Amino acid sequence: MTIIVEDGTIVSNANSYVSPDELRIYAADRGISIPVAPPTAPVTTYVNCAGSGDRTTGDDIVTVTSDITLATGTFDNLVDGNLGTGAANGLVVPIGTTENDYIMFDFGEGNLKYIDAMKFYGNTATELGAWVIEASNDSNTWIEQKASFTLATSALGVEASFTPTSTLGFRCYRLRKGVGTVSTSKWLYEVEFKIADEKIEQLMLRSMDYLESLVFKGVKHTDAQLLQWPRGNVSVDGYLLSVSEIPKILKEGQMEIALAIDNGEDPLADLSRTQKRAKVGPVEVEYEPGSVANIVVRINSKIFKLLQSGGSGGNSFTVSRG
């Protein structure tokens, strides 16, 4: 996930004003752990972020390390997205690879990946002996995800599926050699992961759906940017904001939206079902406690200094006190 501003630098093709770590820290300061509740039945696929393709560059880098000494190929070849044959595209698991030797895949700090299957590619249908799949958040303490199984490869890929021990996912996964040694050198070209989008990223994207529906003061800094911010001609408390600035209250607003959604209070939900009592002449409207209307009021109170008058978006409403 690309963040729009990091230390005042505008980043292209962004989809969030805050980073996952910023949201985690913001929530932790309020005694909330993200996610509050684990996602149920996460949907996994090989095309999700870091699941397949070239993961050696860009935003979804997977770092591969091992205690195995290679004579042919490199460990980065396992996540370069290239399914071709030869030393430039894979590696040879050498003769003598023995029990507890490992190949580790690190998705990076703050990235918890829910994975329930891996797929292994080779030039021909072959077997590499017994292996175990384990997971960790610190690369020191490992939890078994799949007991000893025969690691097999083929040109079309051979899948090894398992039931993860945590619905929150892990930062690191590794293949650890089980009992026995590799008696014949074997090619391994690519490893793909059947992966679910991280819940915190889902919260960030959903919160942006609401935030981007609002009508803000000023104008976009450039017509090419995807998001509403950064903006020009915006004043807060009489002071003109820099066109490269993402206001703190905007970022806090996005994080409040994310926390509300995580708590089952989606501001994009239908307001019509939340009204408790109405009075006509003069109009008086009362909403159920915790209703979507109250959530919208709470969120917009965070960022009202940035909004145009009447700029509450699709869920705007007017309340007059009798």
Of the listed ranges 110-119, 153-162, 172-181, 280-289, the least confidently predicted one is 280-289
Q: Look at residue 33 and tell me whether its pLDDT is greater than 50.
A: yes
Question: Which DSSP string do the residues of 85-144 spell out, in sequence order?
Answer: -STTT-EEE-TT--TT-EEEEE--TT--BEEEEEEEE-SSSEEEEEEEEEEESSSSS-EE
Per-residue pLDDT of 63-108, as tens digits, reads 999 999 999 999 999 999 998 888 889 999 999 999 999 999 999 8
Q: Quote the CA–CA distance of 91 and 73 in Å, as a whole number.
A: 4
The pTM (predicted TM-score) of the whole model is 0.58
Q: Quote the CA–CA distance of 170 and 108 in Å, as a whole number.
A: 10
Domains and CATH numbers, the chain: 5-19+200-315 (no CATH), 63-196 (2.60.120.260)
Per-residue pLDDT of 177-225, as tens digits, reads 999 999 899 999 999 999 987 667 778 878 888 899 899 999 998 888 8
